[in-house]
Amino acid sequence: MRVLGIDPGTERLGFAIVEKFSGSETLLEAGLISTKIKDANGKRLLYIQEELGKVLERNEIDLAGVEKIFFSKNVSTAIRVAEARGVVLALLAKHNIPIREYAPTEIKSATVGYGNATKDQVSKMVQTILRLASPLTLDDVADAAAIALTTISREKF
């Protein structure tokens, strides 16, 4: 079973593909899709769609987990994240990939065991679970891996 985790954002979108096989999880691919701040929003969203589409084309994905939008004091940031999520959800639907959505506290709780865990705690637990030599250095990528792991832990395989 291959699961794609996505930490959505317009400026930076983290993704991670984790495979569950014979009782253990393995990180197959992880990365960051970054857009240029100076570009028009529509162009940034199109770039996310194209780059994530390439990830989907080169990988067989059985299921995807996407982080829900959390409450934000900055409404314009929340709107941009919502727009990126819309692109992601539509692209996953186009590829007939089932989607699961999780709040940040659900992801932290499933990964670390504590809903108010820090980014560092999440990153270290992802490193431990996936048996990585070093932590994933970018928060968005570590979060995407945590989302994939959350999706795996919530599913009955």
Positions marked catalytic: 7, 67, 140
105's tokens:
């506290």
Residue 90, burial from CB neighbour count under 10 angstroms (0-12, 13-18, 19+):
exposed
* Of 77, 6, 86, 16, the residue nearest 45 (C-alpha): 86
Closest CA to 123 of 72, 132, 12: 132
Q: Is 150 exposed, middle or buried (0-12, 13-18, 19+ CB in 10 A)?
A: buried
Count CA atoms closer than 13 A to 57's CA, side-chain side. 6
